[in-house]
Amino acid sequence: MTKVMDNIQDALSFVESGHTVLVGGFGLIGAPLSLIDGLTAKDVKDLTIVSNNLGESGKGLGILLNQNKIKKGIGSYFTSNRDVGDKYQKGEIELELLPQGTLAESLRAGGAGLGGYYTTTGVGTDLAKGKEEREIDGVKYILEKAIRADVALIRAHKADTLGNLVYYKTARNFNPLMATAAKKVIVEVDEIVEPGVLNPEEIITPFLFVDVIVEANQVLTKEGVVAK
């Protein structure tokens, strides 16, 4: 019943060129840095990455970006990595900007099996261009489509071998939502325990959403990313 894999490259065998990949994290916090590092060594291209941002310059998803493996980025905050803007200006990457709440709700809708939802956020702005508009009870809304993906790469604090996940404070961010919205879910964790060890009241993502578990080989400290 165990979903644990010892080798990150084996875990990433589910990621293929052209895939849409959900990547957890808010900046580098809660990002699956070990899985991202493994992906930089994998021969893939033309990826669509759905994440809050595309890492920092030379860090996290920023490395994947500079390897020209990302065809399109869908997220809320790209300006912390100047490389993203440079590549966009050169026509080397497509970008789709979504307000942060819209990104979260689109992931939730994808995980819930919905096709989309109506929201007032973005009405009357450039973000509404090309999107269906509808008036409900005198209020204008735009249609936002749900987000689903081929693979999700997420980060949790602890997992049992069945795949139940516990998160650590704000490192939780988009990770639980992404775990519901992909065909395959690969999670890296700080610690793997036996079933029954985790407090059921602390489990946020139940095992049925998780396909593969690997132990992280990197941790994020105030000084930066360091190996365990």
If you write DSSP's letter for every residue of 36-95 in order, what string do you get? Answer: HHHHHTS---SEEEESSS--BTTBTHHHHHHTT-EEEEEES--TT-HHHHHHHHTTS-EE
Give residue 223's pLDDT: 53
Element (H, E) at 117: strand 116-119
Q: What is the pLDDT of residue 130?
A: 94
- Domains of the chain, CATH where assigned: 8-227 (3.40.1080.10)
pTM of the model: 0.93
Q: How far is CA 82 from CA 55, 79, 97, in A?
A: 10, 6, 16
The number of residues making up the chain comes to 228
Other CB atoms within 10 Å distance of the CB of residue 77: 16
Question: Any idea what the Cα angle at residue 11 is, between residues 16 and 15, rounded to 5°?
Answer: 10
How far, in Å, CA of 223 to CA of 4, rounded?
A: 29
Structural tokens at position 161? 């071998």
Nearest in space to 34 (alpha carbons), one of 153, 211, 159, 210: 153
Per-residue pLDDT for the chain (228 aa), expressed as one digit of tens each?
789 999 999 999 999 999 999 999 998 999 999 999 999 999 999 999 999 999 999 999 999 999 999 999 999 999 889 999 999 999 999 999 999 999 999 999 999 999 999 999 999 999 999 999 999 999 999 999 999 999 999 999 999 999 999 999 999 999 999 999 999 999 999 999 999 999 999 999 999 999 999 999 855 454 555 555
